[in-house]
Amino acid sequence: MYAILDIETTGGKYNEEGITEIAIYRFDGQQVTDQFISLVNPEKEIQPFVVKLTGINNKMLRTAPKFYEVAKRIVEITEDCTLVAHNAQFDYRILKTEFRRLGFDYMRKTLCTVELSKKLMPEQPSHSLGKLVRSLGIPVSDRHRANGDAQATLKLFKVLLEKDRSKSIITDMVRTASTGILSPRLLDIVEQLPPETGVYYIHNDDGQVIYIGKSNNLKKRVNQRFTGHSRRSRAIQKEVRAVTYEKTGNELIASLKEYAEVLSNKPRYNKSKRKRPKRFAFQLETDDRGFYHISIHPLKRGIPSYGIFNSFFEASNHLRYITEEFELCLKLNGLSESRGSCSAYPDGFCHGACAEKELPETYNQRVMAALNRYGIGENSFVLSLKGRTVDEKAVIFVKDGKLQGYGYANLNFQVDNTRILKSILAPLPATDEAHYIIESYLRKNKSYKLVSALSE
């Protein structure tokens, strides 16, 4: 017996959502034998984007029953059933959370039509509910409402049952009642974690760190680790005794800390880094007229380079980007094979270095500005980023092209003065990997301030 389920929620922080609407169809594999559809008063405000998506607003729910008033009906209609939903882990988690607030341990097996459709219909370009039912010609009304989506899921499930001729896939997909749901011990651990950016450390009974990870939502990420199905996740779930964490305030320091601490601690369940493919970097060359040329070469120690990239393709894409942003010459940077001036010169995007219309001194200044904007090179600077609190700054210090470390400061003079800055730094390894993490962040983000002039 199956219970086809769809839930609409208020949105909001993870594990703090409330149910606004629920629809359940009890299905015996042939026909619907019972159904339950109801709005639910979540006793909290609905997020504006959810109102826009579903059309359900706070006014509609004022007279709707609260969850405790419909809980018994939900238990009865799903009794001895496998819950079936599109992204079943979400709907089941929401139900578990609501019942847990009532002091009731709600346990059901689950079946996810997203996972089933990927197995049975791998040729589909998308496995979202809307696109799947459209591609299958299934008529749907009231999308993003519980009843409409539950009916769509029911019709999709009937198609999947037909396609699963051997029934082996459905058998494999059925999860035991504990799968995807935390035991009380793990639940207690997760509840103590904040939904903030940082690094987490999983400890065993001896207090040893067996896994280190990072996330911009520690609570959500550890919850996923504790409900994962991979061999590594299950092994961690058996050994975990406690989880500690450190907030970082931003993803860059979280990435650097995770890398550095995995490197030094070598936790058992962190995968050892495979040998990375050959990396590439920008190198600076000067022609006989005195103009700088940016070229791409394999990264080699001892050769001055600007920027580290995981592939030639990544380096080439970034070279085109900074050539356009800083109005450099396509031809001088090897991006044009034109015999005369490059194609950007007539359009005004190149200032004419290729046509001897610009002095090397002015052109080379823009080249260095482009390289220093996104790369470490041999420069000294401080990156100022979001801290762990409103009145705090996070800083990363690079001196003469070498990463020194990171720290947190509350006052500007702590950032501007090198001597004071060094005293608040926690060290980080100045490796190619660490430099790549920083430069990759600089290329993808704008949420930082660069402080280049430092006093002693």
Q: Would you give the DSSP letter of residue 106?
A: -
Of the chain, the end-to-end C-alpha distance in Å amounts to 74
In the chain, the amino acid numbered 200 is Y
DSSP string, 160-207: HHHH-SS-HHHHHHPBPTTTTS--HHHHHHHHTS-SSSEEEEEE-TT-
Give this prediction's pTM: 0.60
Torsion angles phi and psi, residue 26, rounded to 5? -85, 125
Tens of each residue's pLDDT in the chain, 456 residues: 899 999 999 988 887 889 999 999 999 887 899 999 999 999 898 999 999 888 999 899 989 999 999 999 999 999 989 999 998 989 999 999 999 999 888 999 888 999 888 888 888 888 899 888 888 777 778 878 999 999 999 989 988 887 775 555 555 555 443 445 567 788 888 988 999 999 999 998 888 899 999 999 999 999 989 988 888 998 999 999 889 998 999 999 999 999 999 998 899 999 865 556 678 999 999 999 999 999 999 988 777 778 889 889 999 999 999 999 999 999 999 988 877 888 888 888 899 888 888 999 999 999 999 998 888 888 888 898 999 888 888 999 998 889 999 988 877 766 777 777 787 888 899 998 999 999 999 888 877 777 765 555
